[in-house]
Amino acid sequence: MSAAGVPGHGPGGASGRPGHGRRTDAGAHRDDARTGHGPLAGIRIVELGGIGPAPFAGMVLADLGAEVIRVDRPAEAGRATAHPVLHRGRRSVTVDLKRPGGAALVRRLIASADAVIEGFRPGVAERLGLGPEDCAEGHDALVYGRMTGWGQDGPLAQEPGHDINYIALTGALHAIAPAGGDPVVPVNLVGDFGGGGMLLALGVVSALLRARATGRGQVVDAAMTDGSALLLAMTYGFLARGAWEDRPGVNLLDGGAPFYGVYRCADDRHVALGAIEPPFYAALLDVLGLAGDPAFARQYDRTAWPAMKARLTAIFATREREAWAEEFDGRGACVTPVLSLTEAARHPHNVARGTYRRGALDAPEPAAAPRFSGTPGAEPADAPVIGADTHEVLAALGVTDEALTELRRDGVVGSA
């Protein structure tokens, strides 16, 4: 089906596309668990379906109250998402971006939005007719968020990669290793989510604030290499003033210090020590009966660290993790048990704070964060079945039932 077969489309593009940087009213926002609450209430964001960090950004924005409409492939319509946490709080439509009329339909949806986010390799969105210039035509205030590993330019821009590759090139992976040992893979937190999706969400919100003030949108180029490098700001600051050695496992915050690290207990579980400041260090020594031990008298004497670490290793190996947790409870020594994912959701502090919630699969998942005193968000809605909102969203754009039937027949949209 051609673009001309979609109501509101023709040679001049989508009708109703704002000409003065203002979003159209197509598809009025609904006041349910997915919209109408939180500091971003009233903001509409279109997410071009992808994996990993871009969906994480969409989740964060949805948790903060934005109406996020995710566009997935028609072939997936009717299926439960494989990412029930990352895809929560969305509305879901299925459009084939490669078929005639598909990109035009999505451009029309974007014309009703404040922002769009995508995580394609550089140039893919442009080839689909959904690049920044395509989408911002007549929509001056549109914010266009782009999520990649290497960035939109540079020698590696077109190369494939994953979190581990991006953090390898920024020094982050090198810094996460025991002394003399191999780098430790830190799950995909540093590149994908901390340096990727979270940075994209911040960039989109920042650009939206600017657009509100000036009526001009812009492109947000969020790269996981840039973001993971940014997360190393304090470390690079230490390095610049000679307070950090450029080798892992010998520094204050990388496990080199005996009072800042992880120790194995008698039951092969672990405790974490963070007794950096003198009062906390004194409390640590007091609990362990080491307060008068001369071997621990000079906390920051690096020549004494190996012997101190060996002694602490032997001490913590004598008791089980929970016994140590009880021993240190309320003592102000910055010592905590290292909990598993399932244990963390049951810890009394996390339960009291509501840090975790029960999701669609009746399993723990992180709750929305941060918290707002004046504009608290709603409980995140469970991830929808893929394509569940296709009819409702497109009907709100003015697509008739007859046109929608034709779009389905032509494979442009899918049926949930």
The residues assigned a catalytic role are: 162, 192
The two tokens of residue 196 are 């990727």
Contact (CB, 8 A) for 382 and 360: yes
Residues 222 and 229 sit within 8 Å (Cβ to Cβ): no
Pseudo-torsion of CA 164, 130, 43, 22, nearest 10°? 140
Alpha carbons 324 and 411: distance in angstroms, whole number: 61
Closest CA to 49 of 147, 136, 138, 141: 147
Q: Are 139 and 17 in contact (CB under 8 A)?
A: yes
Count other C-beta atoms under 10 Å from residue 111's C-beta: 25
* Bridge partners, 98 (sequence order): none
Other Cβ atoms within 10 Å of 290 Cβ, number: 17
Residue with tokens 């924005």: 61
- What sections of 10-118 are H helices per DSSP? 53-63, 102-110
Q: Which two tokens stand for residue 198?
A: 């979270």
**DSSP alpha helix (H) spans, 30-97:** 53-63
Q: Which amino acid is at 314?
A: A
Strand order in the sheet with 260-264: 260-264, 270-274, 335-337
Instruction: Provide the 10 A C-beta neighbour count for residue 169.
Output: 18
Could you give the CA distance from residue 377 to residue 36 in angstroms, rounded to a whole number? 9
